[in-house]
Amino acid sequence: MKIFLDTANLEDLKKAVDWQMIDGATTNPTLMAREAGKKFEKMAKAICALVPGPVSLEGVGLTAAELVKEGKKLAAIAKNVVFKVPMTVEGLKAVRSLKKLGIKTNV
């Protein structure tokens, strides 16, 4: 079993990492906006540096092309990024393209 903390709060993540309670973290656009405002990329980098395991960063694009573009950008932030894709037809198309690019996904 793996445990992922669903938050973008750095204090909560630090505690969980220090206590060795989590294997990774998941976020979503709402959590990121609440904690980082318009500084999404800065917050994403901070989370990825803090959490040693996978960090899911979610896309907001509606088309496969938009999601692939976002996935490339977010995957470049850190090696432990997993791009979180919505379970839609366009999301599934994007997953296929992202896999070919070597980008890890979470659906």
All domains in the chain, ordered by first residue = 4-106 (3.20.20.70)
16: buried, middle or exposed (CB in 10 Å: 19+, 13-18, 0-12)?
buried
* C-alpha pair distances (Å), 55 with each of 10, 29, 69, 90, 102: 13, 13, 18, 22, 16
Q: How many helices (H) and strands (E) does the chain have?
A: 5, 5
pTM of the model: 0.93
84 annotated active-site: yes
* Active-site residue (options: 45, 72, 84, 104): 84
Each residue of 57-74: pLDDT tens digit?
Answer: 999 999 999 999 999 999
pLDDT mean values, one per 10 residues, the chain (107 residues): 96 98 96 88 96 96 97 98 97 98 97
